[in-house]
Structure 1
């Protein structure tokens, strides 16, 4: 079974012409980036922000699993230091985790946008070869002939869409999750500021 899959892949790879190597490379990069984003943006099951901050502050053995959990730990550490400009320091923490939440987003969107165009380039090249072979009336030639040109035109289009469509769907899903995480990070900052203000008021 595996041997047949490898043979089919090699056939498609060779029939697709010179645009197949960049498309295969783009596929590997795309799914690495998507996998990284999925691991970073995972949320898991956790309590609300108030309960989360209480657990982390009390050291009740709560194990951080999501980006917001780690941000809560960092934010509480900043609050404990009592810096003179707390909001600015918390803004830096939130900005750092927002950058982490958005890492590789531009890469995934660029690959999703470019992959069909690269496939179209292979299609155009395959059609040029097809028409050249029709002019010379060569069904088969060293360069592929009519059959090779049609195969290249179809395979590269198929490959470009096979790269772009799943990547587009995953990118949209992860974009929604990223928006949720960023909103929770903003809410976390406000919770920390309010908590620090309350503690400061009690001390005075």
Structure 2
């Protein structure tokens, strides 16, 4: 087992070295990207699959259950605020203040993901350019091998960096769009919670 892990680690190092120094920033971006995706995936758990209106009426009648996601927690917190803290003049504003951390959670790491998805292919392209320069330098001197590795190393660097840049960006783009769509739907549901509760409790004092 230890020998297998050692061989895999050696192969990984060879792969990273074949792509040149550009591979290491791409590796760091990969780790950050999947941490951000994992965080958003965990944060954007909705909870119950029932509609917002059904959940609110269920909780208002005292049928409480364990909260499993962001929307469940938002409803419970909003009802507690309405029942215990709100006055008839400031109900909507208090709920909006209460929901501010929820909106922050919905947006957290969104820009990080979109930035990495945009930057990773460009860094891969930089590695491609560096690899092609190495290749043409070797061709100009008619050297198969130089201090930088020669033609073979230049081609490897050009291909590996492009490959890794796309491997980072494409899944990140797909997952990022899916999570953004989910976050947008949950933002709309938070607005629904405010509207329904204010209507149910007569707190909507907007002119």
Task: State TM-score, norm by structure 1.
Answer: 0.90
In the alignment, is the contact (CA less than 8 A) between 1:41 and 1:178 conserved in 2? Answer: yes
Matched, 1:126 2:135: no
What's 1:201 paired with?
Answer: none
Deviation of 1:44 (Å): 4.0
Deviation of 1:72 (Å): 0.8
Count, aligned residues: 198
Deviation of 1:120 (Å): 0.3
Matched, 1:21 2:24: yes
Measure, in 2, the Cα distance between the counterparts of 1:51 and 1:173.
Answer: 25
Give the counterpart of 1:34 among 27, 32, 37: 37
1:103-182 to structure 2, matched below 5 A, reads 103-182=108-187
Give CA-to-partner distance per residue, 1:35-85, whole Å, 9 cap, x none. Answer: 111111122443222332244345534111111111112211221212341
More helix by share: 1
Measure, in 1, the Cα distance between the counterparts of 2:61 and 2:10.
Answer: 58
Deviation of 1:87 (Å): 1.1
In the alignment, is the contact (CA less than 8 A) between 1:46 and 1:52 conserved in 2? Answer: no
Task: State TM-score, norm by structure 2.
Answer: 0.89
- TM-align CA RMSD: 1.8
What stretches of structure 2 of length at least 5 have no aligned partner? none
